[in-house]
Structure 1
């Protein structure tokens, strides 16, 4: 198990979670209108499939929701 801090909450994810895309999939997040911050750095969407996560990393997932 890996321990990550996701949106300020410490959580454990299975070892098969290796990239930011895997993190999003693990938490069932499919919203394309999203900003991802990994260890304090905002990632371009194209990096989500390549950016690896490691034990102790911090990930912020910010979704935009329409309304009115």
Structure 2
């Protein structure tokens, strides 16, 4: 499936059907992050209920510690 993540066109596996699946695919499921789908911020509680479709535009922002 072809979608846009953080401004880049990517092909994701067909088993990535929900936002939770996508985050697990990229190893981000345990990170503190904000996900935006088609310019709408998703609540974390909705990640497993939100289906991904061809052409979706997703922005993923995660926090990095440092000092």
Tell me the TM-score normalized by structure 1.
0.91
Distance 2:47 2:2 in 1: 19
Match of 1:34 in 2: 33
Distance 1:53 1:5 in 2: 11
4+ runs deviating over 2 angstroms: none
The 3-state SS of whatever aligns with 2:60 is strand
Deviation at 1:28, TM superposition (A): 1.5
Asked whether the 8 Å contact 1:31–1:63 carries over to 2, the reply is no
Distance 2:33 2:57 in 1: 16
Distance 1:62 1:31 in 2: 13
Match of 1:64 in 2: 63
Structure 1 segments unaligned to the other structure (5+ residues) = none
Match of 1:24 in 2: 23
Asked whether the 8 Å contact 1:35–1:43 carries over to 2, the reply is yes
Note the aligned Cα RMSD (angstroms): 1.0
Query: How do residues 46-61 of structure 1 correspond to structure 2 at under 5 angstroms?
Result: 46-61=45-60
Tell me the TM-score normalized by structure 2.
0.92
